[in-house]
A and B are shown apart, each in its own frame.
Chain A
Amino acid sequence: MPEENIYEDLSLVRRRANTVFWVISGLIFLALSYYWKIQIVDHKKFSDLAEANRTRQRALAAPRGLISDRNGEVLADNRASFKVSLIRENIKDLEASLVAVGRLLEIDVETLRRRIGQYKDLQQFEPIVIKDGLSSVDVAPIESRRLEFPELVVDAEPQRFYPNGALAAHVLGYLQERTPEEIRAEPDRAAPAGEMVGKTGIERQYDDILRGEDGKVIEVVDSLGRVRSETERQNPVQGGKVVLTLDNRLQALAEESLQGREGVVVALDPRSGEILALASFPTFDPNRFITRFTPDEWTQLINDPLAPLENRSIRGLYAPGSIFKVVMGLGGLGFRYVTPGTTVYCSGSTEIYGAVRHCWFAPGHGSMDLADAIKNSCNIYFYTLGRRMGIDMIALAAGRMGLGKKTDVDLAGEKEGLVPSSEWKTRTLKTPWYPGETISIAIGQGQLQVTPLQIAALTALVANRGTRIRPQLFKSASAGAKARPAAADGAGAAAPAEPPFAPATFESVITGMWRSVNDGGTGNGAFVEGMDVCGKTGSTQVVSRESAERLSRAGREIKTHSWFSGFAPRDNPRIVVTVLVEYGGGGGATAAPVAGRIFKLFFGSPKEVQGR
């Protein structure tokens, strides 16, 4: 080494080096002050962010409350629905696993591979649902072979289940996910999006009671979303139980009695308005709304010309036919157009307003009073009475008997029907009322429209000799139920109002109804030994244009609708039965025997009921 190196003047470079060092040191301590800001000044903010990062809330679905009939028979239950998921992380050999899993679950390997392929972007530990809607029986073989299939997990969720299938489907209603529009309309409703809520029937009416409170778990997750532990758990609470007024046996018989024909059977207790049976056919299986329809099934269901989803008892509008003669009789007596003894002579036909009108019984009924006119369902008598009363008095009587307005049953979607009047016609059709039209109304035809439940309520009003009831399905809810809906308070007492006519007014009409069933009248198909059934038949002759189109689409020949409505016993009545069979022909031939079977079962003669 050259000597001069030792004495080399390095002070300049050393000074520069030191300067650079101190500049860097200054920067380092400036950085330290920023650490102070983040860690001390803003600590709370970042601490909250870290907490939000690591926890995740997951909802635990609550089972819905049960729905039972009046005897505790469960109509809507819950069952565990199982789903099987596959976790790829636990698989050693994907191909071998797919084959084995496919064989176990009876899924073909290609389908399985496609399903897994759809979710290939998910994290390896995320379960992929490969089969759902399984019963405990279905998953038993999987559970028993847990060790062989570490990649499979089975989860259970409570799911609505209607053990009797389509039984009382229109009463119970069905569940569906809320649509986005509904969520917008009721944003504060407690049901999370995607949850099933009651869409129709009792499921809808008492959804607030039936829906439980969902639970939640707060889980600690890592950055991939993998659950590490649980910090908090709130178990779900099942919804309250709703007991209905329905009687399971009567309901089953009512549905069976329709024998696959479109129609309605209503049975209710006239003393309280409690509905014992409410059948509407065709019907549907509400379970299908839970296990999901295939698109084809859904299209078929909603385009079915026979409209199985419609509850005909509250939404079907029909002309009441001869059943309306009960209203005519009450109006005639109540407004003093006739007395019980007033007679009219029926020769089989008569000329009114320049047109010849026929009775259904061509030879004629001869001379008869009101009770016999009802027994025989004589048209001539009521043509005569109708002419005397005029349309507006008829409308008044019908209104007093509850037609043209809702019965306020605890089911959504009820229709009002229509009672025409001169005022109504000038208002809506802008034409005056023609007296000839009154004659059609007098025998329950023309523009008159009623629902079967209105007829049942009307019949109860007759049976009670003027005491009104409101039909209802709600009997009670379990003590744990969150809120009692307003509609559930005080059964029949909720509709006091004044009686439409004095109690005595009803007696001749009831006599006519009794004779109709017990004395060789049109309703004798509903006769039950010793039960004093009183009833009235009806056959609607008018087919509206829409109905005709609907029928021809369904490939049906056009016949009259068949009605029967009655109660029993004559004194202190305990049951009202109303039957409507669409295109059933004469009311006496088709509807009355159906009612007869309901009466028999109700009064405890099961052997006769079964003889079909």
Chain B
Amino acid sequence: MMIDRRLVQEVDWVLLGLVLLHSLIGVFFIYSSSNFLAGGYHVRQLVWIGASLIVLLLVLAVDYKFFVSLSVYFYGLTVALLAATLVFARFVAGTKSWITLGLLQFQPSEMAKIVMILVFARLFAEYKSAYLTTQHTLFALLLSGAPLILIILQPDLGTAMTFLAIIGGAFILAGLKRKAILLFLLAALVLGIGVWSVGLKDYQKKRVTTLVNPLHDPRGSGYQVIQSKIAIGAGGLSGKGFMKGSQSQLRFLPARHTDFIFSVIGEEVGFLGVLAVIVLYFFMLARMFLSVSKARDRAGVYIIFTASLLLAFQFLVNILMIIGLFPVVGITLPLISYGGSSLLTSYIACGLVLNVKMRRFANV
């Protein structure tokens, strides 16, 4: 595969810069919240950023059409891996989501997110009418339902919700009739009640009830939200200073460098820091979403949209979750939270957006 010079010029360097900027902000606060732990998390994160950047560049090198055309095989492979995970993986923190291949550990559910982006692009690329027919809806549901159920079974509530968001987004884009929306809502309600009473583990139920009243269970799942709110609230306008937050430095805050990293930001650099990160993130998301106008075809629009939605949804849920406006479902702050799997997924998603954007004139 040869990379055209014109293509390199078309890369959205601003977007790539924003992605790297967020990653670096993440590294700083990972350092602040974990430097007293053994393990050198900030260094590991830097290595992951490097590796993810390489993968992103590789993604750019290949025309997204090629990925879309392979999506059927990716899909088959992913479903197989998800099924294998359920069978072979050992429980880690109550879920079976990690699979070990030699020295590498990874989460097939992360890979599934990317694959679904491509699958939807492929599925809806040829679909040109304004609204989805029942037949198409059912087929798409069937296609996305298989990996979704496998993820729910792990059980990984956070990933399942992200997954649902992508599916929902794709359907919205393809055009849902009012009747279908009502039907979906009804089905979701029935499914929700069913899952609540049968499928959810106690700890998951607790997370939802904790949302209503965190003090209900201050030592258990409520603890995280209470400590997180204390950290953020104590930060005030300008924060306690980098590496000076008592909630994070004295370890009152759980999952400081992963799910709750934004609480560290809130505590140490205050509302001003929170505002800065949210505005920066908004600019990045805007630049991603609004690239749909640059996509040369329907598949490109779907890729840009679902990939952007992937980041936007996780970002939104995470910043709501840590202040107790959403159940604690284990959704990380994309690009900023520590963690290779999540970082790699985010970079690939951004890579796909850049890929579509830079190839808008590919055929000319």
Q: B271 contacts A35, CB within 8 Å?
A: yes
Residues of chain B lying within 8 A (CB to CB) of residue A220: 246, 250
Q: B325 contacts A31, CB within 8 Å?
A: yes
CB closest residue in chain A, given B278:
A32
Residues of chain A lying within 8 A (CB to CB) of residue B312: 21, 24, 28
B289 on interface, CB distance cutoff 8 Å: yes
Q: B231 contacts A50, CB within 8 Å?
A: yes
Interface residue from A36, A45, A51, A222 paired with B251 (Cβ < 8 Å): A222
Q: B233 contacts A13, CB within 8 Å?
A: no
Docked pose: A14 CA to B292 CA in angstroms: 6
- Say yes or no: A228-B175 contact (C-beta < 8 A), given A6-B363, A31-B320, A32-B278: no
**Interface residues as binary, B72-84 with A (CB distance below 8 Å gives 1, 0 otherwise):** 0000000000000
B206 on interface, CB distance cutoff 8 Å: no
- Say yes or no: A10-B301 contact (C-beta < 8 A), given A28-B282, A32-B278, A39-B237: yes
Distance from A410 Cβ to chain B, minimum over Cβ atoms (Å): 51
Q: Which of B194-252 contact A (CB under 8 A)?
A: 227, 229-237, 246-247, 250-252
**Interface residues as binary, A539-560 with B (CB distance below 8 Å gives 1, 0 otherwise):** 0000000000000000000000
Residues of chain B lying within 8 A (CB to CB) of residue A45: 233
B22 on interface, CB distance cutoff 8 Å: no
A46 on interface, CB distance cutoff 8 Å: yes
Residues of chain B lying within 8 A (CB to CB) of residue A43: 233-234, 236-237
Docked pose: A42 CA to B323 CA in angstroms: 13
Q: Which of A504-560 contact B (CB under 8 A)?
A: none
Q: B234 contacts A46, CB within 8 Å?
A: yes
Interface residues of B, count at CB 8 A: 58
Q: A54 contacts B173, CB within 8 Å?
A: no
Q: Is the interface of B mostly helix, strand, loop or mixed?
A: helix
Q: A20 contacts B271, CB within 8 Å?
A: no
Residues of chain A lying within 8 A (CB to CB) of residue B252: 50, 53-54, 222-223
Residues of chain A lying within 8 A (CB to CB) of residue B286: 21, 25
Stretch from B50-58, B100-108, B135-143, B302-310 at the A interface: B302-310
Q: A28 contacts B319, CB within 8 Å?
A: yes
Docked pose: A29 CA to B283 CA in angstroms: 12
CB closest residue in chain A, given B235:
A39
Name the interface size band of chain A.
35 or more
* Interface-centre pick from A5, A21, A35, A46 (highest chain B CB count, 10 A): A35
- Say yes or no: A21-B285 contact (C-beta < 8 A), given A6-B363, A27-B316: yes
Docked pose: A31 CA to B305 CA in angstroms: 22
Docked pose: A27 CA to B312 CA in angstroms: 10
CB closest residue in chain A, given B291:
A17
Residues of chain A lying within 8 A (CB to CB) of residue B308: 21
Q: B173 contacts A16, CB within 8 Å?
A: yes
Docked pose: A50 CA to B246 CA in angstroms: 7
* Interface-centre pick from B174, B230, B295 (highest chain A CB count, 10 A): B230
Question: Can you list 22 A-B contacts with CB-CB less than 8 angstroms, sorted by A residue number?
Answer: A6-B296, A12-B130, A14-B301, A21-B312, A28-B281, A28-B315, A29-B282, A31-B278, A31-B316, A31-B319, A31-B325, A35-B232, A35-B266, A38-B232, A39-B232, A40-B237, A46-B229, A46-B233, A50-B231, A50-B234, A54-B252, A223-B227
Ranked nearest first, the 7 interchain pairs of A and B with the lowest CB-CB distance are A46-B233, A21-B289, A50-B234, A222-B250, A39-B271, A223-B252, A223-B251
Interface residues of A (CB under 8 A from B): 1, 5-6, 8, 10, 12-14, 16-18, 20-21, 24-25, 27-29, 31-32, 34-36, 38-40, 42-43, 45-47, 49-51, 53-54, 220-224, 228
18 additional contacts (CB under 8 A) given A47-B236, A220-B246: A8-B298, A10-B297, A13-B298, A13-B305, A17-B289, A24-B309, A25-B282, A28-B278, A28-B312, A28-B319, A32-B275, A38-B232, A39-B237, A40-B237, A40-B271, A42-B233, A49-B234, A228-B250
